[in-house]
Structure 1
Amino acid sequence: MATDSEIPPIPPNFWGDLPEDEYYTSQGVRNTKSYFNTPNGMIFTQSFLPLDLPIKATVFMTHGYGSDTGWLFQKICINFATWGYAVFAADLLGHGRSEGLRCYLGDMEKIAATSLSFFLSVRLSDEYGNLPGFLFGESMGAAATMLMYFQSEPGTWTGLIFSAPLFVIPEPMKPSKLRLFVYGLLFGMADTWASLPDNKMVGKAIKDPEKLKIIASNPRRYTGKPRVGTMREIARVCEYIQSNFSRVTTPFLAAHGTCDGVTAPESSTMLYEKASSEDKTLKLYEGMYHSLIQGEPDENSERVLADMKEWIDERVRRYGSK
């Protein structure tokens, strides 16, 4: 039996021990990291820019629950950058290297507004203000992204991309109404308690077992139980977004696996059916799980990425600059 001293240390990055600059250069991108100060706390941000390509547009990316921008999620960022897009991402409050109680989402409007403040500082800058701008959200990050869209001035965004969005919670994943009611009797004292069942979300999200090992080794991944206020707020926000689907007028792409056990595929189909957008695209991937890009076998994730590239390239051609 191996002793603690014989257990290999977790590498600093998902790709291993190669220095970051060398890795990013090998991928054809330039990466920068910084912190952005907001009234709600400091958030960790990253940019991914193409090394040798003109920039066609900006893309602002938001990760899912318990994750961050610094592990496998950045593979999405890198792919978009290699297509000629300037990509900007931020760890949500309470996630990754941003400030805040770990994975506490008691006020998602505030959490969305915090990331949006960074995104808008770039979107409206002299450097990027005349380029098309897109919001990208994955899983719970898609719900935060939708709130950002609702909080933005009309015409701010050229398009929206949702990967396995959390707009409808599958029945097995819904928090117990009885539990939430009982905790509610404590007048908010239980809001931050990490005491709800997690329903084995990671196992339902990742199909490829080797990629599951990599994702599980993320040193910044939240592994505690969901907090009472987090699940209460996610349930509220899902209902709010569903009742406001008709407010979506911007072009969008919604992508979902039919075997997603974490966010219901109805999230994407309902958005497609009820949104007012004249330009809307729905992609359902038969047999795929929740994590379409980081967690599927390579041939599946490459198919999803190819569809996203085709969609965003066409919108840049179609709509041009602001």
Structure 2
Amino acid sequence: MPPPPFFWGETPEDEYYKSQNVRNSKSYHQTPNAKIFTQSWLPLNQPIKATVFMTHGYTQDTSWCFQEICIAYAKWGYAVFAADLIGHGRSDGLPGYIGNMDEAAANSLSYFVGVRRSEEYRTLPAFLLGESMGALITVLMYFQSDPDTWSGLIFLSPVFVIPKAIIPSKLHLMMYGLLYGLADTWAVMPEYRMGVKVVRDIEKLKLLIANPKRYAGKPRVGTMREIMRVTNYLQKNFEKVKVPFFMAQGTLDGLVCHSGSEMLFEKAETAKAYKCLKLYEGMYHSLINGEPDEAVDLVLGDMKVWIDDIIQVV
């Protein structure tokens, strides 16, 4: 049986978005390095409280289940903007390959900042949100930005510390590194199965896998090298984070150690009153797209309370 055309089923896009009280638009943004696919979700029939700029995780894109997060924020009154990372979805690049995360961050940032500084949105609070690997790139975007650009950061299951059991072999990376420029794009790294402590709800796992634009090959050498490089870099630079932030992570996350979130919480120079870390007992990696509905509602509820409160003080 073929997968549905949309993650929600057969309902046409315009009809579905209208039922959710949001308006969606799609476009492409040309950066100096690549052309990236972008989307927005705007609330209907209510004033816009702030803007939120979202970055998806590894193998995913903005057009499938990740939209659940985007639509939720739009329904709460936030203007949401997102871009497919290079090598993902409908953006340029070799599928599954990010050979330079700083460049990937700069690509998305060029689109985000253009919207953030536009006449329509420049006076509103503005937040960056990153899920999983997207959290790494979100922090890089924050570091690349002028100090007054962002009002806060939001992280879902951030890849800040990787469990030892799934860290790529240093020998593998070294061997392929000797062939840098040739082997960097090779899809030969050991693959960690998506369902192991990643997605708890089996039906939602099936839906995630049905994404027609999901990268399903083995991890590419350069992508894994960059994940290792950037996680190490961020761990040494967490004190540079100075804006309010919200972090959510499951205690049984099989892809990411929650010690990374705890490390950011401790090291960031953000005022303690504006730091929020939520650890959800028994939840896996995919908090919004992979947990039972009642667990998803809990996480979304906490996210809504935090951002509705923080926009009153930033």
Q: TM-score interval w.r.t. the shorter chain? A: over 0.9
Aligned-residue CA RMSD in angstroms? 0.8
Equivalent of 2:51 in 52, 58, 64: 58
Specify the SS of the correspondent of 2:313. helix
After TM superposition, the score normalised by the length of structure 2 is 0.98
- 1:178 is matched with 171
After TM superposition, the score normalised by the length of structure 1 is 0.95
For residues 225 and 194 of structure 2, the distance between their equivalents in structure 1, rounded to whole angstroms, comes to: 17
For residues 88 and 256 of structure 2, the distance between their equivalents in structure 1, rounded to whole angstroms, comes to: 20
Amino acid at match of 1:78: I
Specify the SS of the correspondent of 1:205. coil
- 1:297 is matched with 292
Amino acid at match of 1:21: D
For residues 119 and 26 of structure 2, the distance between their equivalents in structure 1, rounded to whole angstroms, comes to: 20
Superposed, 1:72-151 pairs within 5 Å as 72-151=65-144
CA distances 1:40-86 after superposition (whole Å, capped 9, x unpaired): 11111000001111000000000000000000000000000000000
- 1:316 is matched with 311
Q: Which runs of 5+ in 1 are unaligned?
A: 1-7
CA distances 1:278-303 after superposition (whole Å, capped 9, x unpaired): 02111100110001111000010100
Specify the SS of the correspondent of 2:307. helix
1:63/1:202 Cα in 2 relative to 1: closer, same or farther (>3 Å)? farther
Amino acid at match of 1:172: A
Question: Where do 4+ consecutive residues of structure 1 move more than 4 Å?
Answer: none
Amino acid at match of 1:239: N
Aligned residues: 312
Amino acid at match of 1:316: I
Amino acid at match of 1:265: H
Specify the SS of the correspondent of 2:300. helix
- 2:189 is matched with 196
CA distances 1:221-250 after superposition (whole Å, capped 9, x unpaired): 000000011111110000000000000000
- The question of whether the paired residues in 2 share the 8 Å contact of 1:201 and 1:262 is answered with no
For residues 30 and 100 of structure 2, the distance between their equivalents in structure 1, rounded to whole angstroms, comes to: 18
- The question of whether the paired residues in 1 share the 8 Å contact of 2:197 and 2:252 is answered with no
Amino acid at match of 1:303: L
CA shift, 1:202, in A, is: 4.1
CA shift, 1:106, in A, is: 1.0
For residues 204 and 196 of structure 1, the distance between their equivalents in structure 2, rounded to whole angstroms, comes to: 20
For residues 136 and 183 of structure 1, the distance between their equivalents in structure 2, rounded to whole angstroms, comes to: 32
- 2:237 is matched with 244
**How much identity, in percent, do the aligned residues show?**
63
